[in-house]
Amino acid sequence: MAKNKNGQVKLVLTQLITDIFEKNKNVALNHKQVASKLNLSDGQSADTILEVLVEQTEKGIFIRPERGKFRLKEQKTFITGTVDMTAEGSAFIVPDDEFEKDIFVAPRKLRNALNGDKVKVYVYAKKTSGRRKEGEVVEIISRVKTDFIGVAKVSDRFAFVVPDDRKMLHDIFVPLGDLSGAKNGQKVLVGITDWPEGAKNPIGKILNVLGTQGENDTEMNAILAQYGFPLSFPEEVEHEANAIPEVVSEAEIAERRDFRDTVTFTIDPVDAKDFDDAISFKKLP
């Protein structure tokens, strides 16, 4: 655990040191100058910075243009981009810079990043397999999505939601007090509320119970919720819609072409709500 924590400290220091060089036009600096620009005045911090500079120079991140001084090698150590998940749990980070190649990130290096998230990635200097670049997520800049459609799995002691989204590879744990009345097997809309550090699965709360899995209305509502459409409307909107008469007035008919006596047929089923393609048949004299 201590070794892993030390590695994280060095990773953060590498990022901070990289930022110093980038802000100073990549002018060569010694480790004490870098420490000073980071407002670190104690000898131990300076020694750690020197250790990081030496290690990352061996990995190809920095170079030594002269004795005791370092600067960035002409490459980007950290990039920002968008997560594109694969079915296997790994991901490719699509850089914001269109001229940069995608960065491969193994599942254990994603740090809870989800498909579509904007992230910051540390790019390894050495290519570990083939010719592709690899790296690891060091920061989730923004979540693109926190609400998911899925099926509730409820037991006496715990509950979780299995998301429909094939690129959401983590089931969402739901405390029994946040089920909002959902029953086992029902389709629901769940929102992620927390993802504790080190936890494999996020914690969420059920926002809407859509109904029984497989029923037509349930699946239609699931599609609406998946793409962000509202499942209900404000009361005033409902009231205005209910006030619309079901019978077309004579004044309205007078402004239209009347085809009620013309034979017209469609291929839509009898319960269709939208007849958008029809053919009329009429014998001409």
Residue 274 has pLDDT above 70, yes or no: yes
Model confidence pLDDT, tens digit, residues 100-125 = 889 999 998 999 999 999 999 988 76
Banded pLDDT at 34 (limits 50, 70, 90): very high
Task: List the CATH number of the domain containing 163.
Answer: 2.40.50.700
Among 26, 42, 72, the domain-final residue is 72
Residue 101 gets which letter from DSSP? Answer: P
Residue 36 domain-assigned (yes or no): yes
pLDDT at position 1 is: 45
For the stretch 215-261, pLDDT in tens is 888 999 899 888 888 888 899 999 999 999 888 889 988 999 888 88
Confidence of residue 271 (pLDDT cuts 50, 70, 90): confident
Q: How confident is the model at residue 182 (pLDDT cuts 50, 70, 90)?
A: very high
Per the CB < 8 A criterion, the answer to whether 208 and 231 are in contact is yes
Q: Which amino acid is at 40?
A: L
Q: How far is CA 182 from CA 12, 203, 217, 267, in A?
A: 43, 16, 16, 38
| pLDDT average, residue stretch 149-170 | 93
pLDDT in tens, 200-219: 999 999 999 999 988 888 99
102 and 129 housed in the same domain: yes
Residue 241 lies in a domain: no
pLDDT of residue 115: 95
What is the number of alpha carbons within 13 Å of residue 66 lying toward its C-beta?
A: 4
**pLDDT confidence of residue 5:** 57
pLDDT at 231: 83
The verdict on residue 244 lying in a domain is no
Q: How many domains would you assign to the chain?
A: 4
CB 277 within 8 A of CB 266: yes
Determine contact, residues 195/112, Cβ cutoff 8 Å.
yes
187 is a domain residue: yes
| Separation between Cα atoms, residue 280 and residue 262, nearest integer Å | 7
Establish if 122 belongs to a structural domain. yes
Strand partners, 23: none
Report if residue 245 sits inside a domain.
no
Say whether both 124 and 193 belong to one domain. no
Q: pLDDT-based confidence at 95, cuts 50/70/90?
A: very high
Confidence of residue 172 (pLDDT cuts 50, 70, 90): very high
Which pLDDT value is given to residue 270? 81
pLDDT band of 127, cuts 50, 70, 90? low
Asked if pLDDT for residue 4 goes beyond 70, the answer is no
Task: Say if 239 falls within a structural domain.
Answer: no
Give residue 230's pLDDT. Answer: 84
Tokens of 34: 């870098």
Model pTM score: 0.60
User: What's the pLDDT score for residue 37?
Assistant: 92
Is residue 102 within 8 Å of 119, Cβ to Cβ? no
In a domain, 209, yes or no: yes
Note down the domain range covering 134. 78-142
pLDDT for position 100: 82
CATH of the domain at 20: 1.10.10
Mean pLDDT, rounded, for 32-36 = 93
- Asked which of 96, 122, 142 is the last residue of a domain, the reply is 142
Domain end residue (candidates: 142, 166, 192): 142
- CATH number of domain containing 111: 2.40.50.140
